[in-house]
Structure 1
């Protein structure tokens, strides 16, 4: 995972404390609620200059850190470089 992604997640995970962020960490268990998820989505799109497809805006994508990173990395891979 990109270190920028990990740094970006921290403010949206109020239950994280001083623990490391791992791929299998549950986002909801770390305190990500629906309002934070929307803000996080905007931050991801701004930071990585990508747009996640509407099909990826679901509970499965936002289940774990790894599932969210998978959606972001897929969007990065599909980004057309001019």
Structure 2
């Protein structure tokens, strides 16, 4: 099993326990709620989040796909 690397980058803190005996339907319900929450947050903060992501990636040296955009296909 691969180690879990959260997107937050946090390596310490309190564990978040998830019940191990959920039914597949219960697990799907939670995933759907999280998807809805993520979509609502993104829709409200979209431009600000995009700016933060761009800033974070530029500080880490990563480039975003549109930084090297050309009219030519990559192949």
Q: Same fold (TM over 0.5)?
A: no
Q: TM-score, length-normalised on structure 2? A: 0.30
* Rg larger in structure: 2
**Higher RCO (C-alpha under 8 Å, 6+ residues apart):** 1
